């Protein structure tokens, strides 16, 4: 029998994502002027207020208030009627210095002996459903909201859109776990109060179905376009009006969308959030490393699906465990334990080695903080940072390095493929 699987995404204007983006923008500011900064910043946003808290060890100084306001305005919260905007909201900082008891386990005389910044287990996942080796329900959910944000900024159609939105996609799968069809699409988007309720809601639903979804569908390869049939069920703003939204409608917190950030529930998750944390925290860096491994392994043809778990002890460099599960999709003759052993021979999984391999000591994190940390397009960009305390610098950085298929040939050689 066929079965159904659902994943959701939230937009850059969702309160939790506003918090994530502020935390990661602050991290980038610290790393831009001091690459060795140790940062763990949490953000809370609510009506007219931003609260920053956490621990930092750095040689530089960052104007946290200016950074937070800039991020909020860039997201699109620029009007007083939203009851939360970058120019008028309050910004309260309770950031203090990192505990020396934590730092002593991380910094070592030999950089490569750097210990993990915390204990825990991190997961990476990949499958062959999509060209970016991500689960299809989550990939479509992200694409819907990315395109909705583009439409909002263009201000040509759907000019009533506001920043806060959510999406959800349900896929019907065949018995062999291949996608059969798109079953249900849910879109909830904040909007201006531009008409009486009934015609307003009808207009939004019509625009989602006739403008938004065709633009998303056009981005996909034909095999995935064919999954969009006439009988798709649509729920557009199913609760009715969505005028009150953003941090005024719901308090936001850093790290509260960890499933959206990763695999939409299709893989596993160790529970640690990403945003606001420098790469010495393996919650972040090891999760990226595990995704890098899983994606390259699936791309090389070792398996059609792979889950990788890395686990660490605080202050210890080498992982205490490397677990692999291919769910019966590995090439004939290979056990999951065989694959795990070969992975450890190919990839150095010490935190310092991960930082070097994936170039994680660069200010690359603001871009990860909305629309998923995984499945994104690797690219090189120039970023500019200006500070009244540190001057102006331009840095060329690589984004989403963990998505690069740069180990496929080596994997094929090791596995004899």
Contact 346, 297 (CB under 8 A): no
The answer to whether 164 is a known ligand-binding residue is yes
202 carries a ligand binding annotation = no
Say whether 295 counts as a known binding-site residue: no
User: 250: annotated binding-site residue?
Assistant: yes
12 in a labelled binding site: no
Cα torsion 122, 19, 158, 183: sign: positive
**C-beta separation of 247 from 254 below 8 A:** no
The verdict on whether residue 166 carries a ligand-binding annotation is yes
Q: List strands edge to edge, sheet with 3-10.
A: 3-10, 161-173, 179-191, 233-236
Which of 142, 165, 140 minimizes the C-alpha distance to 152?
Answer: 165
131 is in an annotated binding site: no
Structure-derived torsion over alpha carbons of residues 330, 334, 338, 339, reported in degrees to the nearest 10: -30
Element (H, E) at 293: helix 282-300
Q: Which two tokens stand for residue 319?
A: 């992982």
81 marked ligand binding residue: no
Q: Is 165 annotated among the ligand-binding residues? A: yes
269 assigned ligand-binding residue: no
What is the rounded CA–CA span in Å between residue 345 and residue 354? 14
- Is residue 307 within 8 Å of residue 329, measured between CB atoms? no
Please tell me the distance from the alpha carbon of residue 274 to that of residue 369, in angstroms, as a whole number.
Answer: 9
Residues 113, 350: Cα–Cα separation, whole Å: 8
Buried b (16+ CB within 10 A) or exposed e, 194-225: eeeeeebbeebbebbeeebbeebbeebeeebe
- The answer to whether 198 is annotated as binding is no
CB 210 within 8 A of CB 235: no
Tokens matching residue 313: 């002890």
Has 404 been labeled as part of a binding site?
A: no
Is 16 annotated among the ligand-binding residues?
yes
β-strand partners of 9:
167
Q: Does 241 carry a binding-site annotation?
A: yes
200 touches 32 (CB < 8 A): no
Cα angle 231, 234, 235; round to 5: 155
The closest alpha carbon to 321, from 48, 121, 134, belongs to 121
Does the annotation list 42 as a binding residue?
Answer: yes
Q: Which helix (H) or strand (E) holds 250?
A: none
Looking at the DSSP bridge assignments, the partners of residue 323 are 309
Q: Which two tokens stand for residue 110?
A: 């030999």
235 is in an annotated binding site: no
Known binding residues for K(+) are: 42
Known binding residues for ATP are: 14, 164-166, 241-242, 250, 256-257, 273, 277
Known binding residues are: 14, 16, 42, 55, 98, 164-166, 241-242, 250, 256-257, 273, 277, 281
Known binding residues for L-methionine are: 55, 98, 250, 281
Known binding residues for Mg(2+) are: 16
């Amino acid at each position: 029998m066929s079965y159904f699987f659902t994943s959701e995404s939230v937009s850059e204007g969702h309160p939790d994502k506003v918090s994530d983006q502020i935390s990661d923008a602050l991290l980038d500011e610290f790393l831009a002027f001091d690459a060795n900064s140790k940062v763990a910043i949490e953000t809370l946003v609510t009506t007219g207020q931003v609260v920053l808290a956490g621990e930092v060890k750095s040689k530089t100084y960052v104007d946290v208030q200016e950074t937070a306001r800039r991020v909020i305005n860039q997201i699109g919260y620029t009007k007083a009627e939203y009851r939360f905007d970058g120019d008028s909201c309050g910004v309260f900082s309770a950031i203090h210095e990192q505990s020396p008891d934590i730092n002593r386990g991380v910094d070592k005389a030999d950089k490569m002996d750097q210990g993990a910044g915390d204990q825990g287990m991190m997961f990476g996942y990949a499958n062959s459903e999509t060209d970016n080796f991500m689960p299809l329900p989550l990939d479509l959910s992200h694409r819907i909201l990315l395109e909705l944000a583009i439409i909002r900024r263009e201000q040509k159609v759907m000019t009533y859109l506001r920043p806060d939105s959510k999406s959800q996609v349900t896929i019907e799968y065949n018995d062999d776990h291949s996608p059969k069809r798109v079953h249900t699409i849910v879109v909830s988007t904040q909007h201006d109060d531009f008409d009486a309720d009934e015609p307003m809601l009808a207009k939004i639903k019509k625009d989602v179905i006739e403008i938004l979804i065709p633009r998303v569908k056009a981005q996909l390869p034909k095999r995935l376009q064919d999954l969009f049939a006439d009988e798709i069920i649509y729920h557009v703003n199913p609760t009715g009006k969505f005028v009150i939204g953003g941090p005024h409608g719901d308090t936001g917190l850093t790290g509260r969308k960890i499933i959206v950030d990763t695999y939409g529930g299709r893989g596993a998750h160790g529970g640690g959030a990403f945003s606001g944390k420098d790469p010495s925290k393996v919650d972040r860096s090891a999760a990226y490393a595990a995704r890098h491994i899983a994606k390259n392994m699936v791309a090389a043809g070792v398996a059609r699906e792979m889950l990788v778990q890395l686990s660490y002890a605080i202050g210890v460099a080498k992982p205490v465990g490397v677990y692999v599960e291919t769910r019966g999709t590995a090439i004939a003759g290979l056990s999951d334990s065989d694959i795990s052993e070969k992975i450890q021979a190919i990839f150095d999984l010490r935190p310092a080695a991960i930082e070097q391999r994936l170039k994680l000591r660069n200010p690359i994190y603001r871009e990860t903080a909305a629309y998923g940390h995984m499945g994104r397009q690797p690219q090189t960009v120039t970023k500019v940072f200006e500070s009244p305390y540190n001057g102006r610098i331009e840095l060329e950085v690589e984004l989403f390095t963990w998505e690069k298929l740069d180990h496929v040939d080596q994997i094929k050689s090791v596995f004899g493929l």
